[in-house]
Structure 1
């Protein structure tokens, strides 16, 4: 199922119980969270490309755009991705109709090391997640996968770092998850803002 509300207009009912911003922000940021329950409803190519286009427009150091997206959307492609997910993540992520491996080039075009490549790829992932939410889709970033196996199966060169596999799809029913995951299928809260902000210097 997809949320029936417009995420830029109001908070969804499911996040109101778990999330409250301390200061005024667009509801879009509160409505975005990372579920594990996905339906098998297909994603249109237009929506998928819109989501990747948003990621494509993320800022990057020297405009190097080091991010790379390896997309699995066919049955054969998804089977390969399932091979390198760890068992815990595969149990729920194999229901998602699209999986995207985010990687980034560690070198600039002139051969120099790009020390900002991971930071920039993370920014692109944020753009991707927000655009997906705008389209009524959900995302969940997965760090638990065999990078060595993924690199081999997907023919990823050594000068690219593998970061996360993104499960993308429409929300499913949490009752379809394993029992131990159903209780966790809720939006997460956040630490108080005062705990992560330091003025001038860090003081512990």
Structure 2
């Protein structure tokens, strides 16, 4: 089941197709597929072409390390994210090489994450970005130097599965149609 967006204006089909799935099948993402997805992220725009995004990941096939990723997630994400093929932790390099603060770092990581997710969707691989995680656990697990890096989000990637296999409230969320605010709520002509 693909929850295609019902748009008012003619939005690109890939954008309409992208959604934050929670029901993932046992089919695993290959190394080549994953490298293609990361390659797409590398081509996102960034301030001064600095590319401040960094990714740390584990595949479900690496049970020991994958479980460490799952353990960082909030209780509301663990029940379904544990079924993903890949879990990714995205972080932002906060400063340029000259030591000056990169005020666009989080924006640029968001752009890379969006590009990553759109590439995945074009390959019938779906993703879900999660802000629900323990920053403390993630910083400790991945030995993140918080003077240099800012934790951003975790990303679950996988192939779709039947939403009926999910527990509530996740099953209902998976089946509920997507909605968005009207553009008049966030766009203002000056």
Report the TM range for the smaller structure's normalisation. over 0.9
CA distance, structure 2, for counterparts of residue 115 and residue 193 of structure 1: 27
1:179 shift after superposition: 2.6
1:99 shift after superposition: 0.3
1:180 shift after superposition: 2.0
1:113 shift after superposition: 0.8
* Structure 1 segments unaligned to the other structure (5+ residues): 4-11
Taking only aligned residues, the RMSD between alpha carbons, in angstroms, comes to 1.2
Residue number in structure 2 paired with 1:105: 93
Which of 73, 86, 94 pairs up with 1:85? 73
TM score, norm. by length of structure 1: 0.87
Aligned length: 186
Match of 1:88, SS state, is coil
Residues 138-177 of structure 1: matches in 2 within 5 Å? Answer: 138-158=126-146, 159-177=148-166
CA distance, structure 2, for counterparts of residue 172 and residue 137 of structure 1: 11
1:71 aligned onto 2:57: yes
1:181 aligned onto 2:170: yes
Please tell me whether Structure 1 or Structure 2 has the larger radius of gyration of its CA atoms: 1
Residues 1-204 of structure 1: matches in 2 within 5 Å? Answer: 14-15=3-4, 19-73=5-59, 74-158=62-146, 159-186=148-175, 187-200=177-190
Residue number in structure 2 paired with 1:9: none
TM score, norm. by length of structure 2: 0.94
* Structure 2 segments unaligned to the other structure (5+ residues): none
1:23 shift after superposition: 1.3
